[in-house]
Amino acid sequence: MICSYCYDTQIHPKHDVGHWWNNPLDSVYVCSDKCYTELEKLVKNRTWMDHKPEAIFGKKKRKLSPSFDKPSPRDKGPKSVTDKQFTDDLGKFMT
Ligand SMILES: [Zn+2]
């Protein structure tokens, strides 16, 4: 079992958060209230795909890549949308 926020292994799952990605129950967990809150923020501001937990990436700062790290033309950076958010957004245009 791995926490989807801090990526600690062998956690005692505290919250099932799979529904944020429309995943089935018992597949996506966080280990604590803190991880739940932090991951929820990332999902809401749509940056969860850029989250780089220290457990995997270490504390070292990555060297910026000129092609991927320059500001996007929209000046908002890449956004990672969950299936659910995508469908919700789609709903706005279908009314
Ligand atoms: Zn955690």
In this prediction, residue 52 carries a pLDDT of 83
pTM of this prediction exceeds 0.75: no
Distance 14 CA to ligand 1 centre (A): 9
Task: Render the burial of 12-44: b for 16+ CB within 10 Å, e for the rest.
Answer: ebebbbeebeebeeeebbbbbeebbebbbebbe
Distance 21 CA to ligand 1 centre (A): 17
pLDDT of residue 27 exceeding 70: yes
Distance 16 CA to ligand 1 centre (A): 12
Distance 71 CA to ligand 1 centre (A): 30
Question: What span, in angstroms and rounded, lies between the C-alpha atoms of 94 and 79?
Answer: 22
Q: What is the pLDDT of residues 30-59, one digit of tens each?
A: 999 999 999 999 999 999 888 888 877 787
Distance 90 CA to ligand 1 centre (A): 31
